[in-house]
Amino acid sequence: MNYEKIYHNIINNARSRKKDPMFERHHIVPSSCGGTNDQSNLVYLTTREHLICHLLLIKIYKDNSVFRKKMIYALWWMAKTRTKINGCRITSRTYEFAREEFRKNNPNKCNERRKRFIENHKAGKYKYDYEKVSRSLKSTLGKLTKEEMYERMKSSALSCDQEKRGNSIKRGKASHFCLINIDNTNLEFWSYDDVKSITGYDYNQILYRIKKCNGKMPNGSTIKYISKYKGNDGNIGRKRNNSI
């Protein structure tokens, strides 16, 4: 079947249409695939035509994995939001097709793709401009009101693994110590613990002994770092409940 011919027939039949609330604007060459907002690249379709065109675009871009994935995302969004608009009814078969294709092509929904994404990220294949992202986030958060910020933080806190989040907050901002007693027994503890009840000395005394006395304590025991706090613990982080 010639999907491109069907696609362009629909486009050509709609070229004479003017902007109207009953029509939906469509990019002939999708903007996510390099299309512009020039009038020559825009056409107005009915909701049914719009859905059909996005189904056809998935077939047309079958040899371009990146463009095809973008069209799948667009179709899935349309399937979720257009149950019955302007006389267009999404059938169960179309919805199932959109949902299954989205699952296969979304790293968060497909175990195999997610595993490959994590491996590539660890290997340094993805490059991020952290400084640019930081500025953008700062600008976004700076525009939020106190109430909006509260709702954002509340939603973020409730959508993650609470136990791991607690450990991340604690261990991410703490040093890990080992106390070697006179009888050679070891006791590990964190700086956020009740250090005085564990060692008999307060936290500042311990830091002084490590720095000035190589960890030798007055009672003959020795204390040393297992890991010294230098930033958030990257091994204990958030894991959202909707992640696989």
Does residue 144 have a pLDDT over 60? yes
Task: Of 150-159, 176-185, 199-208, give the lowest mean pLDDT range.
Answer: 150-159
Q: Which two tokens stand for residue 117?
A: 């994404």
| Residue 228 to residue 191: CA distance in whole angstroms | 10
pTM: predicted TM-score of the whole model, two decimal places: 0.44
Taking alpha carbons only, the member of 222, 215, 225, 224 closest to residue 184 is 222
Q: Which of 166, 174, 162 is nearest to 230 (CA)?
A: 174
Q: Domain ranges for the chain, please list them.
A: 3-117, 173-227
| Cα-based distances in Å from 184 to 65, 194, 195, 200, 230 | 61, 22, 19, 17, 28
Handedness of CA 207, 213, 216, 218 (dihedral sign): negative
- Can you read off the two tokens belonging to residue 120? 């590539």
| pLDDT value at 229 more than 80 | no
Q: Which of 15-24, 42-51, 85-94, 203-212 has the lowest mean pLDDT?
A: 85-94
- Encoded amino acid at 211, one letter: K
In angstroms, the CA 142 to CA 61 distance is 40
Tell me if residue 29 falls in helix, strand or coil.
coil
Radius of gyration of the chain (CA): 29
Residue scoring higher pLDDT (40 or 236): 40
Question: Do 158 and 236 meet the contact criterion of CB atoms below 8 Å apart?
Answer: no
3-state secondary structure (DSSP) of residue 49: helix
